[in-house]
Amino acid sequence: QVHLAESGGGSVQAGGSLTLSCVFSGLNFANYCLAWFRQTPGNEREAVATISRVGGVPVYSDSVKGRFTISRNNAANTLYLQMNTLKPEDTALYYCAADDTFAVCVEAFARDPAYWGPGTQVTVSS
């Protein structure tokens, strides 16, 4: 059974940093495209970063480019999102996600991955 579990969310002041982690189980981690999404009440879920299976090549949304860093540790079945220079508009519920059917991992910006964690809340105060 596939299981994803995020951690590392919390409250921080603008300009601060947080690192999110997501531990995966029940799947062959190295074969999966991985991604981080976020959602605020009343808005659609937004992909913020993806990372490829091989080589860990990242792609970011314009809203986080230059501030967030996605990475993966295939030996530890763990996905990370380092978030720096946080802004109040980064406040959201953050989700990790995975899919092994994408031809290229940037497909996560166009359609929902198959597997999701329950989410972790990030709150940035001004």
Apex 43 CA angle, 40 and 49, nearest 5: 65
Give the torsion through C-alpha atoms of 119, 7, 61, 83, to 10 deg.
140
DSSP string, 2-18: -EEEEE--EEEETT--E
**What is the band of 55 on the pLDDT scale with cuts at 50, 70, 90?**
confident
Tokens for 108, please give them: 């996560």
Over 90: is that where the pLDDT of 54 sits? no
Rounded Cα distance between 91 and 122, Å, is 5
Residue-wise pLDDT for 65-81, tens only, equals 999 999 999 999 999 99
